[in-house]
Amino acid sequence: MNQKTLKRQYSFEGKGLHSGRFAHLTICPAPAGTGIRFQRTDLGTDAFVDALAENVSSTSRSTTLSKGKVAVGTVEHLLSALTGLEVDNALVMIDSAEMPILDGSALPYVKAIAVDGLVEQDAPRQYIEFKEEIHIEDKSSGAYLKVIPADEPSYEVTIDFNSRVLGVQTSFFDFSQDYVSGIAPCRTFCFFREISALLSFGLVKGGDLDNAIVIVDSPVSQRKLDRMARLFNQPSVSVSPDGYLSNIELRFPDECCRHKLLDLMGDMRLIGGFPKARIVAYKPGHKLNTSSAKKIRQTL
């Protein structure tokens, strides 16, 4: 299989999930062998950082890439979209330090790009191959990630937040399935009990009920609901019988697990290409995902 890039440029704009700052973003075609590269246009014509694991500088509720003074945060959704569409090479031009969150999923990206299709390039795809299994574990949480050599890439995620709302969920994806309809629409999520702490750490300043699922897995007072309504600039918020804020309609019963799979695909793209492996993750997060990608990069 040959490498692929975009047929044309695609532009997006919106606020960052954590910073709340507005950003303009343009995804451009790139020559064979480029991989995925970010350019901070507000910092100059040579302000680049490549989407590689050694450039990960933060994993606090998202993945940030940095090289010198060039930093771009919350890159995982776009990286997942480009991976799901099988894009090998792209230049991502952005004028701010965080990607726009859009609707909290990868759907806006893939809806724009998939209509046009891709351009095949005159160079073979460079798959990342593995001679033996790699196993990374976080003993404090029991989370782990396994990389199992295989002929084709696939991804499997199991989540367990000890939540009465979510329970234990497992999702799987390989490239015989349709990423556009099955994975890309799945939105980011958090728990109601986390929001105050996240705000105190300077995070989720751009979060709202249009770009995130909020899970309520313990009783909440009306006072707290009223405070949350003011925070989200809503006249009121409520809790649905199945435990979600403001009766949000899930796109899939296991949307939260599918979003974790979406994140995993984006973070694992930081190995520098498509893995010839089955990636199996239990209770994954950005720290585990990117640590695993770094370990893989070190073995290449």
Catalytic residues: 286
| The one-letter amino acid at 92 | V
> Which of 95, 74, 91, 70 has the alpha carbon at shortest distance from 82?
91
Q: Tokens representing 174?
A: 């390989």
| The one-letter amino acid at 21 | R
Q: How far apart are CA 33 and CA 259, in angstroms?
A: 29
Q: Tokens representing 229?
A: 């309504």
DSSP 41-96: GGG-TT-EEES-GGGEEE-SSS-EEEETTEEEB--HHHHHHHHHTT--BEEEEESS
The angle at the Cα of 135, spanning 132 to 137, to the nearest 5 degrees, equals 170
Question: Distance from first CA to last CA of the chain, Å, rounded?
Answer: 21
Q: Tokens representing 150?
A: 């295989």
DSSP 151-184: SS-EEEEEEE-S-TTT-EEEEEEETTS-HHHHTT
7 contacts 119 by C-beta, under 8 angstroms: yes
